[in-house]
Structure 1
Amino acid sequence: MVQDALKLRTELTRPDVAPDDAARILLEHFGLSGTLSELGSQQDRNYRIDTGEARFVLKICRAAYDLQELQAQNAALLHLARQTGSVRAPQVVRALDGSDIVDVTVRGDAYRVRLLTYLDGVPLTRRKHLTAETVAALGDIAGRLAVALRDFDHAGLDRELQWDLRHAAPVALHLLAAMNDEGLKKRIAEAMVASMRRLQPLTADLRVQAIHHDVTDDNVVGQPDAAGRPFPDSVIDFGDILKGWLVAELAVTCASLLHHADGDPLFILPAITAFHAVCPLEESELKALWPLIVARAAVLVASSERQLTIDPDNAYVQGNAAHEREIFDVAVSVPPALMQQAILCAVDAAPEKTLTVIGEGLLVEIEPAGVRQIDLSILSPLLPEERWQHQGLPASLLQTAAHAIGMASTRYGEYRLTESALRASRPTSTFALHVDLCLPVGTVVRAPFAGGTEWHDGRVLLNGPAVVLHLTGLEPPEDAEEAVAAGAPIGTVVDAGHGLGLMRVQLCREPGLIPPLFVPAHQADAWRALCPSPSGILGFDCDAPVLHSTELLDRRQQHFARPQKNYYSKPPQIERGWKEYLFDVEGRAYLDMVNNVTILGHGHPRLAAAVGRQWSLLNTNSRFHYASVAEFSERLAALAPDGLDTVFLVNSGSEANDLALRLAWAFSGERNVVSLLEAYHGWTVASDAVSTSIADNPRALETRPDWVHAVVAPNTYRGQFRGSDTTDHYVRSVATKLRELEDGAQGLAGFICEPVYGNAGGIPLPKGYLDAVYAMVRQRGGVCIADEVQVGYGRLGDYFWGFEEQGVVPDIITIAKGMGNGHPLGAVITRREIADALEKEGYFFSSSGGSPVSSVVGHTVLDLIEEEKLQDNARVVGGYLKTRLQALEQRFPLVGAVHGMGLYLGVEFVRDRNTLEPAKEETAAICDRLLELGVIMQPTGDHLNVLKIKPPLCLSRESADFFADMLTRVLDEGW
């Protein structure tokens, strides 16, 4: 009976009702007219009607649909409408005769028609990427809807529907019979058999109630948030409502999310936790959830294949077929046992991750003190520089350690740097689920518990009552038996070279599963539950220390002053760097695209060696006489234009700019300083005073002291005057300010600005701007300060100093950041007479500015910039990257402009290219999404709508491509 009803339903085509037919029905039965647009459906025909005053959905189905079923849908909508705070859903519109379902005939075929209100919003299915918050919101809606329908009942809910997961097996069997793709057919059949095997023992305990059964990314709509991301708030299309398993409600929702998952089925976990929070599931339901998701995925694919054979022109089915195939591929990509554990862990219902093995002995006779554990983590001293990338390194380190002490082991539960991968858009598998032991050849390995043994391709399995032991690196005993007692020999260690053998040890709770050796960090909890630590059978603690990143962040926030912000709301714990990469404690490698401090790149061995050597010799203050401060000062002066021959060494860019202002005051005898709007120069009292960026200080414009005179920012993209021919306009704004000072009988101390507009994203100043402004300033006795802290030192590629692009020579140059490659080092370079003017106020001293270590750092950085041709690399790779980024302007309206040169670039996002409305929220969300894809990126500018692209100058072309590819992907798929 069920089979016959399902066969009838699965062979229905959509109603043959054209727009003209629909318009006639609408006017005749509902007295409405308007613009009609067809909406997608698998077996119905739906039209959206816009009357000019309201919008509706006309739903047309074949008369084969039982009248009671349609009545049940309408009754459910009325039921929800009566509940305060319920899920938002369409309302039923009655026909002119008062009925809510109308029977019509079109060209001899009988149909049933209903009219519902139309809910405005965007369905999630149109966006490839969904945030965890959006996924959770979908689960929350499904859970609240299940709760709201708990006390709803109707005779029409007892129906035979192909989507009812209680009938997934017979439905799939029927659909597969007509499928031509034998390969797909076999995969679906195998998935269904495996799912039914896990599901069958649980079905008697699964609760039954009224469920919507189609809360999917296609059947919820919502309004975009401030960043343009859709956030579901309403449920549409109650066509699949029935009385079924409660957990099936969530299974359908989760299956729909898998084509947004980027291949990772654990992507659905936020939906599960959100559903469970409002509609708690029982243990049997939690265990049934994943088999039902797989079954739903199988039926979706089989149904689409079947529907296209009988209705090949159905664009809706054609459009869904690709992502339904993706849903199925993701659903069968992982062991069902893993997903069961992940689901249980997500709702805190998982078993203990540790395992007490019941047995009479250990695997091998080992004295814990006689085992040396090697550290392969991010902080390992055994992995200097790039050595972690060498294949075979763990085995080599094990053998070296074992030669020294007799036995050595790796650690279970360790996030290994040796498994990290560069330029990976997804977290790589770094978490170790096994232990490797290096021990003498011939060591006898004994069964720690009784069980049956199996040998497969060099692997021996010991199947115990609670767990399976997996071993490699052994040879079986001559009298090997299938069943062994606890303590009986099961093999001996074979020679791996130099009289030592390598044995791999792994436990797994799931019979028949060959577990992976390493898994990604976000899967670690689930896999730990499946593959517990072997410490209990080894006789020593082989576990790596547990990470406490969240607790560490809490400690930081408790004791580290709040104004000292960190990147990201949920930051990864970064503990290592190499070249243009950063590594978190879980072994994830990130491409660092913002760190203009480390100009050489992270972890440079030459610099580390130079610092270590100098520190071992001497580190003191610059009042002492030693060589390095003289040599470094001489070298800095040689890099500056003729006449700028005197150097001050300080600790930071803020101090450098503060000192430059003091020099201007001392030399000119005046106090007033002209600076630019949108600028940032530092955090000291003086450097902060001339900083006007409201991104760094929201009150910047209202808290400037009276000696600071800010002029219009010469921002040729979004400033008061736009385009290339704007120099005179911006120069006049400075001239006007200078005349105001003269009219008030006020003198001028100087003018400070970045030669390239750094905080706005690297926008070049208008051609000739600094030449004209510098002349006016000097004419009035002021000095010209070039803040090169961000833009200088070769970062621009074509120029070592930013002011060279403008063809000018300043009176004072300030530098920091890259000159120390992360070491606190800054400098002021000026003329002798300007420097000497400071002596009127006393001498200048910086405790660690110009110290032996700081001077050696500065000298070594300059050596390496020259030797490794980093300025040339900034020009070549930076130019290539800019070309790739400019190509995005043609594809994505959000990309307003690409600024900068060399490896100081900015991508500015706008919501409208005419008004230049800043896309602030979108930019923040894009940065968060880039972090997920393995790229460190942050916004800049007064409106925080510009990506600040300032990576180490060693950035490779491959890394530039990775960044451009990931940004393209974010703009393409959503954030």
Structure 2
Amino acid sequence: MSLDTLIRRSSLPCPDVGAAQAAEWLATYYGLSGTLKELGSHQDRNFLVDCGDGRRFVLKICHGDYSTTELAAQHAALRHLSRESPVRVPAVMPTLKGEDVLTVDHNGNAVHFRVLEFINGQSLAHVAHLNRHIVTGLAKLCARVDVALAGFEHAGLDRVLQWDPRHAFALIEHLLPVIPDADKRACIAEAAEQAQAYLLPLVASLPVQAIHMDITEYNVVWARDAHRQWQLQGLIDFGDLIRTWRIADLSVTCAALLHHAEGDPFFILPAVQAYHLINPLQTEELLALWPLIVARSAVLVLGSEQQASIEPENTYIQANLASEWNIFDVATSVPIALMEAAILDAVGEWESDEEPELFSPLLPSLSRQGFTLVDLGVLSEHFVAGNWEQSGIDEQLLREAAQAHGLAASRYGEYRLSRTLPDSTKEPDTFALHTELYIPHGTVVHAPFAGILRHTADGALQLVGAEVSLRLWGVRSDFDSGVEFGAGDVIGQGGGALIVQLCSEPDVSPPLFTTPSRAPAWRSLCPSPKGLLGFDCDAPALADSAALLARRDASFARSQKHYYQAPPQIERGWRNHLIDLQGRSYLDMLNNVAVLGHGHPRMAEVASRQWSLLNTNSRFHYAAIAEFSERLLKLAPAGMDRVFLVNSGTEANDLAIRLAWAYSGGRDVLSVLEAYHGWSVATDAISTSIADNPQALSTRPDWVHPVVAPNTYRGEFRGADTAPFYLRSVDAYLSALKEQGRQVAGFICEPVYGNAGGISLPPGYLQQVYARVRDQGGVCIADEVQVGYGRLGQFFWGFEEQGVVPDIITMAKGMGNGHPLGAVITRCEIAEALEAEGYFFSSSGGSPVSCRIGMAVLDVMEEEKLWENARVVGGYFKERLLTLIDKHPLAGAVHGSGFYLGLELVRDRETLEPATEETAYLCDRLRELGIFMQPTGDYLNILKIKPPMVTSRRSVDFFVDSVSKVLGELES
């Protein structure tokens, strides 16, 4: 390889060819004319040619310094791939004389001129966040191209190219002076030196073949399908085609992905997995991947900095500089050894050392005394009522254990609850890579292996051995850095807290905690210190969550769905957050059952107390059932004087229908389209939501009469003054029933349209409907299961917004804060009508435990002013959601009030085309960001926002900001 050629080629500017000259050549040699638009390029001059008749081409002009043999290799590869691979690539367009490449003289310099087919679509370089589908799609494409090119041969593949990683370190050394900042120069030089040290032992084992070497988001063409998902259309720009190490192709793709990684180098791991499944890599290639990415990032920065100095007017290069520095920063943000371990683990190649290393005791004087291991994990009994949010709680619990038992220790490899981060998109660093001991003052600390002592800047004492290093905090030592010790030698004294951490890479400074996603890689570098402590300090391994989900699917009826395809395993909650076993907090924006929030201590206290006394059925005589019934009647409108207690909203609505039948003497019930009322035979019959039951509209029994949904946003009639139009449907059914001599039993609906995201009914609608139904002897049922009980903020009951009083109120959900509890409130004459059919009884409904919990919920709602919180914070919530409409075209409307809100997403605000696929993406992406949210509505295009009523402004801001972020991603 000629270094002079490499350096010369790396310094070439783009050919100085304007659009007018390019158009003249195009007409002369190709017989083509049209508008030309310049495309960005590093060293070529490229134009998009639009002929105006539907035909579009790419005109490529490169320096004559590159041989026609090299260009012929690119063309041969295009033809080869069009035959041997499903990947679409551009066709080569011949000149009028049938030539693939033209070489012309331009201002005394030779330039090569050629035309390629244009592939419709777009690059995703502008997209801030690339989802897993795109990341793995790029990697799969890379793998398939490499498989197809494995047998491709051409003389033009053996070329000198600045992007060839085999020359990276020579090029880096040459180009370093283009960086004026001495600190940046040193940083690049150090990174390159480390990458070269890791790479050199592997070079001889790396397979070599023809590769594209530029499969990045710039050169892969995508287009949205009918479901708004990005689908790959083709691969372009074969200008870097070369024969070199096979793994270099994936390294280029992964380096490009780092620009979209939001600072997380582990972002590339799904790409590595996807590539490896199609085109398995050797272990040496896997080990070489990250050093090659580091080298590539350095070459990108240096190449662009040099090119920018040569062509300061090249806007393409100037625009890319920031992204390339970002790639370099991410690539050098973690140790190479860590990423090698992560890559091997990602493809199942990591082999853990089962044999523990042999060490001398660190604390031999304590070897016969037992340490009490303190559970600081997510399920620890030490944590109650959010006390894990107190600063220093872990250390406090360890001190208390030491005071009680003499010696105490934390567990290595434990996911610490205290390190969870509520209302944060950041993955918390919960995994402990160390053990913390509490030991008596004056305890002598010994060297567990031979090594050299160092005092680190963060106050640790580090013993660096031949194959492992030990870091200790809390040890007093009189020895200076550089002193050598043998195994068993005294190195200092400890007392109180002593932190112990091992690392197999002496030059790496690991964190004390890491994130769950990085835990396997860091754990491979930071083994458990149990071998030098003399006792097993390891936390029990977490159960396989995927295996547990499979057990659920194998035993739990499939129609009982779970949220998300791969849901996190939630085992703890606190206030308006849910916490998985790895300590990740998720903002709960959909749980209207837990009105008081999760883990409320009053619930545990009241339930425990009553369970210890009595729990039985409501046919026994006890005070709680009378007290709770009286409390409920105080919340109801005047005239309502009877309560039924059941276990759920379904049971409450089912009973309401029976009451309507018994009181009216009829069977026919009017319900509202797009509504959901429950899962029993009767409540399913009156539920017409096709999102909940796709067959809802075709399977209604003849006693159910669904009236047109009074949806003021996307219904048949839109706007506030539409009640008269929606009443036509009610009148038609009532008239038909009267003509047929059928007695109407009643009308049931949610006073606020819950299943449609909390849409208010048209003013006056319920007043008119209730009057019409009552005139024909029917009763009016208000289903307050979702929207009532203070959730709306301004109103305690949904029917208050309409200025009506129903005959029957049904409720459940938040009544028990998660305990199964529902109720029906009505008048005496309606309640007693049921006695003609026999008595009513619910085994658990109205039990002592249920009643005490129900009263405790009401007490806490009053004491903590949750109804007021729903009004104030809920009002702020709606204001913040409304700002999204001005900012994002997908945000169509905001419905509801208080803590029952709906954000409806549409693709067009005129046609109201529902953005169903975008809403599904939004919900999945929010889960990645730490938020639980699900869609509702017949088109599943509405965010159903119904969080616990303890939700704070901080949580509101976190939610709305995250929604805005994802909407921005969807609209980019």
The TM tier, using the shorter chain, reads over 0.9
| Contact 2:361–2:534 (Cα < 8 Å) also in 1 | no
In structure 2, C-alpha distance between the alignment counterparts of 1:909 and 1:394, rounded to whole Å:
44
Q: Secondary structure at the residue paired with 1:122?
A: coil
| Contact 2:59–2:113 (Cα < 8 Å) also in 1 | yes
Which residue is 2:519 aligned to? 524
| Structure 1 residues 604-635: Cα deviation after superposition (integer angstroms, max 9, x where no partner) | 11222122212212211111221111111111
Is the alpha carbon distance of 1:907 and 1:535 closer, same or farther for their aligned partners in structure 2, counting shifts above 3 Å?
same
Which residue is 1:493 aligned to? 494
Q: Secondary structure at the residue paired with 2:442?
A: coil
Q: Secondary structure at the residue paired with 2:572?
A: strand
Between Structure 1 and Structure 2, how many residues are aligned? 968
1:183 is displaced (CA, Å) by 3.5
Q: Secondary structure at the residue paired with 1:370?
A: coil
- What's the Cα RMSD here? 1.8
In structure 2, C-alpha distance between the alignment counterparts of 1:327 and 1:634, rounded to whole Å:
66
Q: Does 1:513 align with 2:514?
A: no
1:241 is displaced (CA, Å) by 0.8
| Contact 2:467–2:506 (Cα < 8 Å) also in 1 | no
1:319 is displaced (CA, Å) by 2.4
Q: Secondary structure at the residue paired with 2:558?
A: coil
Moved more, 444-453 or 908-917: 444-453
Which residue is 1:627 aligned to? 623
Q: Does 1:933 align with 2:942?
A: no
Which residue is 1:814 aligned to? 810
Which residue is 2:940 aligned to? 944
1:755 is displaced (CA, Å) by 0.4
| Contact 2:674–2:689 (Cα < 8 Å) also in 1 | yes
In structure 2, C-alpha distance between the alignment counterparts of 1:771 and 1:713, rounded to whole Å:
16
Which residue is 2:304 aligned to? 304
Q: Does 1:93 align with 2:88?
A: no
Q: 1:536 aligns with which of 531, 537, 544?
A: 531
In structure 2, C-alpha distance between the alignment counterparts of 1:10 and 1:640, rounded to whole Å:
81
| Contact 1:724–1:766 (Cα < 8 Å) also in 2 | yes
1:106 is displaced (CA, Å) by 4.6
Which residue is 1:835 aligned to? 831
In structure 2, C-alpha distance between the alignment counterparts of 1:880 and 1:183, rounded to whole Å:
47
| Structure 1 residues 102-124: Cα deviation after superposition (integer angstroms, max 9, x where no partner) | 12345555321111111122222
Q: Secondary structure at the residue paired with 1:884?
A: helix
Q: Secondary structure at the residue paired with 1:123?
A: coil
Which residue is 1:497 aligned to? none
Is the alpha carbon distance of 1:832 and 1:929 closer, same or farther for their aligned partners in structure 2, counting shifts above 3 Å?
same
Is the alpha carbon distance of 1:143 and 1:470 closer, same or farther for their aligned partners in structure 2, counting shifts above 3 Å?
same
In structure 2, C-alpha distance between the alignment counterparts of 1:34 and 1:366, rounded to whole Å:
86
Match for 1:111: what amino acid? V
Match for 1:418: what amino acid? S
Q: Secondary structure at the residue paired with 2:744?
A: coil
Q: Secondary structure at the residue paired with 1:656?
A: helix
In structure 2, C-alpha distance between the alignment counterparts of 1:178 and 1:135, rounded to whole Å:
33
Which residue is 1:146 aligned to? 146
1:65 is displaced (CA, Å) by 2.2
Is the alpha carbon distance of 1:353 and 1:132 closer, same or farther for their aligned partners in structure 2, counting shifts above 3 Å?
farther
In structure 1, C-alpha distance between the alignment counterparts of 2:480 and 2:765, rounded to whole Å:
90
Which residue is 1:473 aligned to? 474
Runs of 5+ consecutive residues of structure 2 not aligned to the other structure: none
Q: So what's the TM-score if we normalise by structure 2?
A: 0.97
Q: 1:595 aligns with which of 585, 591, 594?
A: 591
Q: Secondary structure at the residue paired with 1:324?
A: helix
| Structure 1 residues 626-658: Cα deviation after superposition (integer angstroms, max 9, x where no partner) | 111111111111111111121111100000000
In structure 1, C-alpha distance between the alignment counterparts of 2:368 and 2:240, rounded to whole Å:
62
Is the alpha carbon distance of 1:694 and 1:704 closer, same or farther for their aligned partners in structure 2, counting shifts above 3 Å?
same
Which residue is 2:267 aligned to? 267
In structure 2, C-alpha distance between the alignment counterparts of 1:757 and 1:872, rounded to whole Å:
22
1:233 is displaced (CA, Å) by 4.6
Is the alpha carbon distance of 1:439 and 1:464 closer, same or farther for their aligned partners in structure 2, counting shifts above 3 Å?
same
1:362 is displaced (CA, Å) by 5.8
1:421 is displaced (CA, Å) by 1.2
Q: Secondary structure at the residue paired with 2:517?
A: helix
In structure 1, C-alpha distance between the alignment counterparts of 2:665 and 2:368, rounded to whole Å:
75
In structure 2, C-alpha distance between the alignment counterparts of 1:262 and 1:740, rounded to whole Å:
62
Q: 1:570 aligns with which of 566, 583, 587?
A: 566
Q: Does 1:546 align with 2:541?
A: yes
In structure 2, C-alpha distance between the alignment counterparts of 1:173 and 1:481, rounded to whole Å:
33
Which residue is 1:20 aligned to? 20
Which residue is 2:666 aligned to? 670
In structure 2, C-alpha distance between the alignment counterparts of 1:517 and 1:404, rounded to whole Å:
26
Which residue is 2:160 aligned to? 160
1:426 is displaced (CA, Å) by 2.0
Moved over 6 A (4+): 477-481
In structure 2, C-alpha distance between the alignment counterparts of 1:567 and 1:365, rounded to whole Å:
53
Match for 1:566: what amino acid? H
Which residue is 1:498 aligned to? none
Match for 2:510: what amino acid? P
Q: Please list, as runs of the form range in 1=range in 2, the aligned pairs for 1:455-474 lying within 5 A after superposition.
A: 455-456=455-456, 458-474=459-475
In structure 1, C-alpha distance between the alignment counterparts of 2:590 and 2:845, rounded to whole Å:
25
Match for 1:904: what amino acid? Y
Match for 1:156: what amino acid? G
Q: Does 1:79 align with 2:80?
A: yes
| Structure 1 residues 129-161: Cα deviation after superposition (integer angstroms, max 9, x where no partner) | 112232112111111111211122222222222
In structure 2, C-alpha distance between the alignment counterparts of 1:228 and 1:299, rounded to whole Å:
36
Match for 1:559: what amino acid? S
Is the alpha carbon distance of 1:451 and 1:108 closer, same or farther for their aligned partners in structure 2, counting shifts above 3 Å?
closer
Which residue is 1:391 aligned to? 391
1:700 is displaced (CA, Å) by 0.7
| Contact 1:354–1:532 (Cα < 8 Å) also in 2 | no
Is the alpha carbon distance of 1:481 and 1:247 closer, same or farther for their aligned partners in structure 2, counting shifts above 3 Å?
closer
In structure 2, C-alpha distance between the alignment counterparts of 1:359 and 1:599, rounded to whole Å:
54
Runs of 5+ consecutive residues of structure 1 not aligned to the other structure: 495-500
| Contact 1:674–1:750 (Cα < 8 Å) also in 2 | yes
Match for 2:462: what amino acid? L
Match for 1:889: what amino acid? I
In structure 1, C-alpha distance between the alignment counterparts of 2:244 and 2:736, rounded to whole Å:
80
| Contact 1:426–1:932 (Cα < 8 Å) also in 2 | no
Is the alpha carbon distance of 1:291 and 1:179 closer, same or farther for their aligned partners in structure 2, counting shifts above 3 Å?
same
Q: Please list, as runs of the form range in 1=range in 2, the aligned pairs for 1:242-641 lying within 5 A after superposition.
A: 242-352=242-352, 354=354, 356-361=356-361, 363-366=363-366, 370-456=370-456, 458-476=459-477, 482-494=483-495, 501-548=496-543, 549-641=545-637
Which residue is 1:67 aligned to? 68
Match for 1:544: what amino acid? A
In structure 1, C-alpha distance between the alignment counterparts of 2:835 and 2:665, rounded to whole Å:
13
In structure 1, C-alpha distance between the alignment counterparts of 2:689 and 2:888, rounded to whole Å:
28
Moved more, 672-681 or 106-115: 106-115
Which residue is 2:191 aligned to? 191
Q: Secondary structure at the residue paired with 1:750?
A: strand
Q: Does 1:33 align with 2:33?
A: yes
Q: Secondary structure at the residue paired with 2:523?
A: helix
Q: Please list, as runs of the form range in 1=range in 2, the aligned pairs for 1:172-251 lying within 5 A after superposition.
A: 172-225=172-225, 227-251=227-251
Match for 1:482: what amino acid? V
Is the alpha carbon distance of 1:98 and 1:688 closer, same or farther for their aligned partners in structure 2, counting shifts above 3 Å?
same
Match for 1:65: what amino acid? Y
In structure 2, C-alpha distance between the alignment counterparts of 1:866 and 1:936, rounded to whole Å:
27
Which residue is 1:649 aligned to? 645
In structure 2, C-alpha distance between the alignment counterparts of 1:35 and 1:891, rounded to whole Å:
34
| Contact 2:454–2:481 (Cα < 8 Å) also in 1 | no
| Structure 1 residues 550-589: Cα deviation after superposition (integer angstroms, max 9, x where no partner) | 2211111111111111100010011111111111000001
| Structure 1 residues 480-534: Cα deviation after superposition (integer angstroms, max 9, x where no partner) | 993333333333213xxxxxx2111111111111211110001111111111112
In structure 2, C-alpha distance between the alignment counterparts of 1:954 and 1:774, rounded to whole Å:
34
Match for 1:244: what amino acid? T
Q: Secondary structure at the residue paired with 1:521?
A: coil
In structure 2, C-alpha distance between the alignment counterparts of 1:125 and 1:644, rounded to whole Å:
64
In structure 1, C-alpha distance between the alignment counterparts of 2:17 and 2:284, rounded to whole Å:
45
In structure 1, C-alpha distance between the alignment counterparts of 2:349 and 2:366, rounded to whole Å:
36
Match for 1:874: what amino acid? A
| Contact 1:353–1:532 (Cα < 8 Å) also in 2 | no
